[in-house]
């Protein structure tokens, strides 16, 4: 029903654009000198007609369910109004499902039948009201704006002011979302820290988040020491960087300094595709190819290698982030002014000396920024680790053993049915906050470095 | 990059209009042609360049004067699709001989560019760059001496002696250009090529560089490409006029500016085109 209304509104907006524009054109043809172009007049009419109505529609849709629910609850017999929150919510879900016909009407419960009727009446009313109010707003806006059209009316300035407001709203939406996510992380994490001390979380050496549901349960110790997860994350990320940084950097040097331009134009996008492969696919590769390979090589060397090892996950993750390092580094090496290359060659430097002594130092801040970006990507990676490094929270820095990471455990904690009042579930938010703080720190460092880089040649 | 020499015939330098120095020329170019892809940028140029002189290349934009300058230390090698034929010798050594190491050539023929291009390193490291890569010094003390001598020679020492570890990019444009000259001098070249070295500088900095060139010609062969005829007249002893890839006329600066032999030279120096 809202969809039809939306399209009607859209049609009205388009029509009002044409009406406004045509009116301005006819004024101009009548010999008047318009302040603004006719299309600005049209846009102005369309905006005043469509924008408030559309916002109202949006508000209506989001508030409708809640309003109806409140009215229906108010109309329930008194003994149901006293129900605890959870049971009331269940009851209302039943009512709602029956009202929408998703569930057959349960005639055995008279209060429900009357509530469903009440619900449907209110829905009908809401529908009629929404059409009336929203179309009234749209038409009122259209009439008002249409009246404004005159040769001296500054439609362009008015349109620009409205668009300015729209831009401000759009940009604050992104910022507000980020703030919202951070706040929800912080508050849930605080709830977790009310049950588990911060010190235990940050410095505890055991991670075993099962808490007992019944007192007599065994093996439900509930230890929340995040150190094994942090160490596991670092081990895997460091292995990944050991793979990605040298390979990526050398690839970048080759691409920017040695590869002929035509080949580079083909190879670089192909390399960037590596970054677009879903990480699950890398996960297959890690679990089915690299992990067994690592194991069999380790065995032949007489080492004891777990079938899921940090090494396998780290190596594959390293391959995944090569394009982050190589593509960005290639860009910054390319951005080093040609004049510096010529200056170096002009002094009799070889290509190798020029790369080593001039290009890499000049590009270093950019390269560092790309490495930090790749590192924060590695920290946040989940899927490859789940598939290739296992789930066991071992506290070890031996890359041949199975370890696990922060992100893997966040995923594990929230998979399946969960209640959001146990320490186990809440610990996911604490882990998320920890990871967020670390990546935020890395990003700030990266931005600092990039800023310094921008001042380099001037 | 290929350098076929089969087409090179013993060409002749244009007849000198005024007496030349008594020693043999430092650089001898005969029948030099340069192509960028299909574009014939330099057409059959033959010229002699003498020691202890400033030789100026003048001519309108796109006439090939910068291209010819870059041929002299093979900077065109790094440009894709550039082809050079003919014969150029530096003190008798053919610089396009495949056996000649371009690294050593460029150590003998230094270059200063249009836009000052100090490396994003300290002033000291900028000057020490050449001596380090060529292994010219055995001790830190020797390197210090070369750096100081080069900066003094480039008339920059007094301005920077207390801040040698500051980045070279922090200097003013004119100081940067003198730093680049010091950097070129530090490898003790025989020839210094200057590609419009003052075009990015203000008049005061330009005057300093010009004064410096006059001093440096006591020890070095200097070739300068310039757009400014006044500059060519002020700093050079010999002038070569290029037009559309041809070397139209070469002679003493005084003769070129007062008694040009060619109609095109006359038109250019009197400002009728260019």
What are chain A's domains? 2-171 (no CATH), 223-454 (1.10.3720.10)
pLDDT band at A211 (very low <50, low <70, confident <90, very high): low
- Among B104, B110, B120, beta carbon nearest to A457: B120
Q: How many CB pairs under 8 A join A and B?
A: 71
Give residue B251's pLDDT: 92
Pick the residue from chain A with its C-alpha nearest to B112: A343
Give residue B11's pLDDT: 47
Partner B contacted by A18 (CB < 8 A): no
Residue B7 pLDDT more than 90? no
Give residue A113's pLDDT: 83
- Strand spans (E) along A322-433: none
Query: Best interface-test mutation with B: which of A256, A258, A335, A348 has the largest number of B CBs within 10 A?
Result: A348
Domain ranges of chain B: 51-63+102-269
Which range is least confidently modeled, A39-53, A81-95, B175-189?
A81-95
- pLDDT tens per residue, range A149-196: 888 888 899 999 999 999 999 999 999 999 999 999 999 889 888 888
Pick the residue from chain B with its C-alpha nearest to A340: B117
What's chain B's average pLDDT?
Answer: 87
- pLDDT tens per residue, range A395-428: 888 888 888 888 888 888 887 666 667 778 888 8
Residue A275 pLDDT more than 80? no
Task: Decide if A345 and B184 are in contact by the 8 Å CB cutoff.
Answer: no
Task: Decide if A348 and B187 are in contact by the 8 Å CB cutoff.
Answer: yes
- Among B80, B106, B169, beta carbon nearest to A347: B106
Both tokens of residue B56? 């100026």
Give how far Cα A307 sits from Cα of A390, A403, B172, Å: 9, 11, 62
Give residue A17's pLDDT: 93
- Sorted by sequence, the CB contacts under 8 Å of residue A407 that are 6+ apart come out as A233, A379, A380, A381, A382, A385, A435
How many percent of chain A have pLDDT more than 90? 25
What's the ipTM? 0.85
- Among A346, A358, A458, beta carbon nearest to B75: A346
Give how far Cα A298 sits from Cα of A385, A389, B126, Å: 19, 16, 49
pLDDT band at B201 (very low <50, low <70, confident <90, very high): confident
Architecture of the structural domain at B51-63+102-269: 3-Layer(aba) Sandwich (3.40)
Residue B18 pLDDT more than 60? no
- Sorted by sequence, the CB contacts under 8 Å of residue A93 that are 6+ apart come out as none
pLDDT band at A272 (very low <50, low <70, confident <90, very high): confident
pLDDT band at A148 (very low <50, low <70, confident <90, very high): confident
Pick the residue from chain B with its C-alpha nearest to A259: B80
- pLDDT tens per residue, range B79-122: 888 889 999 999 989 999 888 888 889 999 999 999 999 998 89
Give residue B5's pLDDT: 41
Give residue B3's pLDDT: 43
Both tokens of residue B8? 């090179």
The end-to-end CA distance of chain A, in Å, is 60
């Amino acid at each position: 029903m809202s969809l039809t209304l939306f399209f009607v509104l859209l049609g009205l907006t388009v029509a009002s654009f044409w009406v406004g524009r045509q009116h301005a054109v006819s004024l101009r043809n009548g010999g008047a000198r318009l302040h603004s172009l006719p299309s600005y007049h049209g846009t102005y009419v369309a905006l005043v007609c469509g924008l408030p109505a559309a916002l109202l529609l949006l508000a209506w849709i989001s508030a409708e369910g809640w309003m109806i629910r409140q009215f229906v609850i108010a109309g329930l017999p008194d003994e149901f109004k006293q129900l605890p929150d959870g049971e009331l919510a269940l009851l209302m879900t039943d009512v709602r499902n029956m009202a929408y016909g998703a569930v057959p009407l349960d005639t055995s419960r008279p209060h429900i039948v009357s509530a469903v009727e009440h619900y449907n009446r209110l829905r009908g009313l809401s529908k009629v009201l929404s059409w009336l109010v929203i179309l009234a707003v749209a038409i009122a806006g259209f009439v008002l704006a249409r009246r404004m059209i005159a040769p001296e009316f500054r439609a362009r300035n008015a349109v620009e002011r409205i668009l300015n407001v729209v831009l401000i709203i759009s940009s604050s939406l992104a910022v507000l979302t980020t703030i919202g996510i951070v706040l929800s992380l912080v508050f849930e994490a605080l709830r977790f820290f009310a049950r588990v001390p911060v010190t235990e979380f940050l410095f505890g050496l055991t991670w075993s988040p099962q808490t007992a549901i019944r007192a007599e349960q065994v093996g439900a110790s509930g230890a929340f020491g995040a150190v094994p997860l942090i160490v596991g994350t670092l081990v895997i990320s460091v292995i990944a960087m050991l793979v990605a940084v040298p390979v990526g950097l050398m690839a970048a040097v080759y691409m920017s300094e040695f590869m002929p331009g035509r080949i580079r134009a083909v190879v670089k996008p192909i390399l960037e595709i590596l970054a677009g492969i879903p990480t699950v696919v890398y996960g297959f590769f890690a679990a089915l190819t690299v992990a067994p390979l690592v194991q069999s090589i380790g065995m032949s060397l007489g080492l004891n290698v777990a079938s899921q090892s940090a090494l396998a996950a780290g190596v594959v993750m390293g391959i995944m982030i090569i394009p982050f390092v190589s593509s960005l580094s290639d860009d910054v090496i390319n951005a080093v002014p040609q004049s510096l290359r010529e200056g170096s060659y002009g002094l009799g430097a070889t290509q190798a000396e020029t790369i080593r002594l001039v290009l890499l130092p000049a590009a270093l801040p950019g390269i560092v920024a790309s490495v930090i970006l790749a590192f924060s990507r590695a920290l946040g990676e989940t899927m490859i680790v789940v598939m290739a490094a296992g789930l066991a929270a071992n506290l070890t820095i031996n890359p041949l053993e199975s370890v696990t990471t922060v992100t893997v455990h966040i995923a594990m904690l929230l998979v399946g049915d969960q209640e959001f009042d146990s320490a186990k579930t809440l610990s996911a938010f604490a882990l998320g906050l920890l990871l967020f703080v670390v990546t935020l720190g890395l990003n700030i460092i990266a931005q600092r470095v990039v800023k310094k880089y921008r001042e380099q040649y001037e | 990059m290929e350098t076929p020499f089969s087409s090179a015939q013993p060409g002749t330098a244009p007849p000198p209009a005024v007496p030349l120095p008594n020693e043999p020329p430092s650089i001898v170019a005969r029948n030099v042609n340069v192509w960028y892809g299909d574009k014939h940028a330099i057409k059959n140029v033959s010229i002699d360049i003498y020691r202890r002189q400033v030789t100026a290349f003048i001519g309108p934009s796109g006439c090939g004067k910068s291209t010819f300058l870059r041929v002299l230390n093979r900077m065109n090698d790094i440009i894709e699709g550039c082809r050079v034929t003919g014969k150029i010798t530096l003190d008798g050594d053919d610089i396009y001989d495949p056996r000649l190491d371009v690294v050593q050539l460029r150590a003998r023929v230094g270059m200063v560019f249009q836009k000052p291009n100090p490396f994003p390193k300290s002033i000291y490291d900028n000057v020490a760059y050449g001596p380090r890569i060529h292994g010219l010094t055995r001790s830190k003390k020797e390197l210090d001496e070369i750096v100081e001598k080069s900066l003094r020679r480039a008339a920059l020492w007094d301005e920077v002696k207390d801040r040698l570890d500051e980045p070279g990019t922090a200097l003013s444009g004119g100081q940067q250009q003198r730093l680049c000259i010091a950097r070129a001098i530090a490898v003790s070249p025989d020839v210094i090529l200057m590609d419009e070295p003052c075009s990015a500088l203000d008049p005061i900095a330009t005057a300093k560089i010009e004064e410096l060139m006059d001093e440096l010609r006591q020890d070095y062969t200097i070739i300068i490409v310039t757009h400014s005829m006044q500059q060519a007249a002020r700093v050079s002893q010999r002038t070569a006029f290029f037009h559309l890839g041809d070397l139209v006329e070469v002679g003493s600066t005084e003769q070129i500016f007062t008694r040009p032999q060619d109609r095109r030279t006359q038109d250019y120096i009197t400002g009728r085109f260019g």
